[in-house]
């Protein structure tokens, strides 16, 4: 079964790379190593196709805001690095979503954090029917 999954993944990656080689025009690369492409010859009367090839595992939250707007046709050209309105001194650096990874948040009572949490303060009273 895993051979079929691996082969299917390989074929999918091959098809994407082949499509990109034949029809894609490199637009740019972000600071995470993701590369962005657009169609070399867009069809008349249709919107230009735009896509991203992720550096590593495909995860949509890896796309920074300046490229997200370009991918979704909110802007004609991607914003230059560091000049977007998203880069203010008080704005945190964009981080991909860590859910499902080792970097995910786990509260103190989580099983991987020991499974023990602080005792309740005593103000909780469970409901019970009469």
**pLDDT tens-digit series, residues 4-31:** 557 777 777 788 888 888 888 999 998 8
CA atoms of 6 and 103, how far apart (whole Å): 26
pLDDT tens-place string over residues 69-122: 899 998 888 877 666 666 677 877 777 788 888 888 888 777 777 777 777 777
The dihedral region occupied by 25, where left means phi > 0, alpha psi between -120 and 50, and beta the remainder, is beta
Residue 61 has which token pair? 């939250």
Query: Which candidate, 80, 79, 35, 39, places its Cα nearest to that of 58?
Result: 35
Higher pLDDT among residues 4 and 123, named by residue: 123
pLDDT at 42: 79
pLDDT > 60? residue 2: no
98 closest CA partner among 90, 107, 106: 106
Instruction: DSSP for 40-54, please give it.
Output: SSPPTTSPPPEEEE-
pTM over 0.75: no
Residues in Cβ contact with 77 at an 8 Å cutoff, skipping those fewer than 6 apart: 70
Question: In the predicted model, is pLDDT for residue 124 greater than 60?
Answer: yes
At 1 the pLDDT is: 45
Round to whole Å and give the CA distance between 110 and 130: 34
Tens of pLDDT, residues 56-70: 878 888 888 888 889
d(C-alpha 12, C-alpha 90), whole Å: 41
């Amino acid at each position: 079964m895993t051979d079929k999954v691996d082969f299917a993944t390989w074929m999918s990656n091959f098809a994407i790379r082949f499509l990109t080689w034949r029809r894609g025009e490199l637009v740019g690369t972000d600071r995470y190593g993701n590369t962005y492409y657009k169609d070399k010859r867009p069809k008349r009367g249709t919107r230009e196709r735009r896509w991203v090839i992720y550096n590593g595992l495909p995860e949509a939250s890896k796309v920074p805001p300046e490229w997200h707007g370009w991918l979704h046709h909110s802007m004609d050209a991607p914003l230059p690095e560091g000049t977007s309105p998203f880069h203010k001194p008080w704005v945190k650096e964009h981080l991909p979503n860590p859910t499902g990874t080792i970097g995910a948040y786990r509260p103190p009572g989580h099983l991987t954090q020991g499974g023990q949490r602080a005792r309740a303060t005593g103000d909780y009273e469970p409901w019970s029917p009469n």
